[in-house]
């Protein structure tokens, strides 16, 4: 099958599958366990993802119930886990998902985080953000500078204009995290079938203390970034005015 025809078939299949699929939402609550798990209709249109998420749900439920029962017997405190998988953007070839998770396992407070999942419909599997590029480290040169500058601006807002050193924070809360430690989530805000931005998410404790929460920095996709991508992926992105 020629490449153009193959892409047309994939596009038609993804549109049909998304239209027919329904979002999934599950809730289970007792005095010792609270389990919530959901995923988007776009994810629900892909059987392999559904199987994966159902397995994740079964594991999370079993562990939460088991731990919650033990903790409730000792302290009358139950456990909780909440997972929400939403669509950040999609193209005929790529589906970009954000997975937000939170859990409470009896400590001083709950803990959560965001991770990314990039699905290649043609390959039928998850791929890494780095694998979009001809050079898997090339994108770092394009994104790191703008990311670090934007992160510092957001940090100053949350810290009242003071630096990490002035506030007596750990040194790492004033440095710029490695991109490999972040969740990189391509997004399509206007739902036009092209990915125009990338969310770079640093979970709590990575760019700042727990009280500051996660840092979600959104950067526009540039023509330079697209130019570094493999040909089969560049068509899924749309450059924005910088």
User: In 10 A of CB 136, how many CB atoms?
Assistant: 12
For the record, the structure tokens of 230 come out as 């493999």
**Same domain? 115 vs 140:** no
pLDDT over 60 (residue 82)? yes
> What is the span of the domain harbouring residue 28?
3-127
User: Cα–Cα distance between 57 and 70 in angstroms, integer?
Assistant: 20
Write the CB contacts of 15 (distance below 8 Å, at least 6 apart in sequence). none
Domain termination residue (choose one: 127, 150, 179) = 127
Q: pLDDT at residue 19 above 80?
A: no
Domain count, the chain: 2
Task: List, for residues 104-149, the tens digit of each pLDDT value.
Answer: 999 888 999 999 999 999 999 999 999 999 987 889 999 999 999 9
Residues whose CB is less than 8 angstroms from the CB of residue 115 and which lie 6 or more positions away in sequence, other chains included: 98, 99, 101, 183
What are the DSSP E strand ranges found in 44-110?
79-90, 94-104
C-alpha gyration radius of the chain: 20
87: helix, strand or coil: strand
Nearest one of 69, 130, 144, 63 to 101, comparing CA atoms = 63
Average pLDDT value over all residues in the chain: 93
Rounded distance between C-alpha atoms, residue 172 and residue 209, angstroms = 10
Q: Does residue 13 carry a pLDDT above 90?
A: no
Query: How much is the pLDDT for 88?
Result: 98
Regarding whether 139 and 121 lie in a shared domain, the answer is no
Q: Does residue 61 surpass a pLDDT of 70?
A: yes
pLDDT of residue 241: 81
Per-residue pLDDT tens over the stretch 173-212? 999 999 999 999 999 999 999 999 999 999 999 999 999 9
Q: What is the pLDDT of residues 216-240, one digit of tens each?
A: 999 999 999 999 999 999 999 999 9
The enclosing domain of 203 has a CATH number of 3.90.640
The secondary structure element, H or E, covering residue 220 is strand 215-220
pLDDT at 20: 83
Q: Of 127, 156, 179, which marks where a domain is finished? A: 127
Q: Examine the domain organization and report whether 10 and 111 are in the same domain.
A: yes
Which residues face 133 on adjacent strands?
229
Over residues 24-36, the mean pLDDT reads 97
**Structural contact between residues 225 and 196, judged by C-beta atoms closer than 8 angstroms:** no
Q: Is residue 241 part of a domain?
A: no
| Higher pLDDT, residue 20 or 115 | 115
Per-residue pLDDT for 5 more than 80?
no
Domain boundary among 127, 146, 167: 127
Taking CA atoms, 141 is separated from 105, 137, 138, 198, 214, in Å, by 39, 8, 6, 15, 23
Q: Is 153 in the same domain as 109?
A: no
- In the chain, % of residues over pLDDT 90: 87
> Average pLDDT for residues 24-40, to the nearest whole number?
98
Same domain, 77 and 190: no
Query: Would the pTM count as exceeding 0.75?
Result: yes
Residue 138 has what pLDDT? 81
The answer on 211 and 143 residing in a single domain is yes
DSSP reduced 3-state for 242? coil
Q: Which pLDDT score, from 0 to 100, does residue 1 have? A: 46
Q: How confident is the model at residue 6 (pLDDT cuts 50, 70, 90)?
A: very low
pLDDT at 209: 95
Residue percentage of the chain with pLDDT more than 70: 92
Q: Are residue 114 and residue 151 in the same domain, yes or no?
A: no
Which residues 6+ apart lie within 8 Å of 148 measured at CB?
176
Q: List, in order, residues 6 or more apart from 214 with CB less than 8 Å away.
A: 113, 114, 201, 202, 203, 204
Q: What is the CATH number of the domain that holds 96?
A: 3.30.565.40
- Strand order across the 125-127 sheet: 24-29, 33-39, 79-90, 94-104, 111-120, 125-127
Q: Do 45 and 61 fall within a single domain?
A: yes
């Amino acid at each position: 099958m020629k490449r153009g025809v193959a892409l047309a078939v994939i596009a038609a299949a993804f549109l049909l599958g998304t239209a027919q699929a329904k979002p999934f939402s599950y809730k289970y609550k007792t005095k010792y366990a609270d389990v919530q798990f959901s995923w988007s209709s776009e994810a629900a249109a892909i059987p392999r993802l559904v199987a994966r998420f159902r397995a994740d749900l079964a594991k999370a439920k079993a562990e939460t119930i088991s731990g919650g029962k033990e903790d409730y017997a000792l302290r009358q405190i139950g456990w909780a886990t909440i997972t929400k998988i939403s669509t950040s953007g999609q193209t005929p070839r790529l589906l970009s998902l954000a997975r937000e998770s939170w859990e409470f396992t009896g400590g001083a407070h709950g803990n959560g985080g965001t991770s990314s999942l990039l699905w290649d419909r043609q390959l039928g599997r998850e791929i890494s953000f780095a694998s979009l590029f001809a050079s898997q480290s090339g994108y770092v040169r394009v994104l790191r500078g703008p990311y670090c500058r934007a992160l510092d601006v957001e940090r100053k807002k949350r810290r009242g204009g003071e630096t990490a050193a002035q506030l007596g924070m750990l040194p790492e809360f004033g440095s710029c995290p490695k991109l490999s430690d972040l969740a990189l989530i391509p997004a399509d805000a206007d739902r036009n079938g092209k990915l125009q931005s990338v969310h770079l998410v640093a979970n709590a404790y990575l760019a700042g203390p727990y009280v500051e929460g996660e840092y979600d920095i959104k950067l526009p996709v540039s023509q330079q970034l697209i130019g570094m991508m493999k040909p089969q992926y560049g068509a899924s992105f749309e450059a924005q005015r910088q």
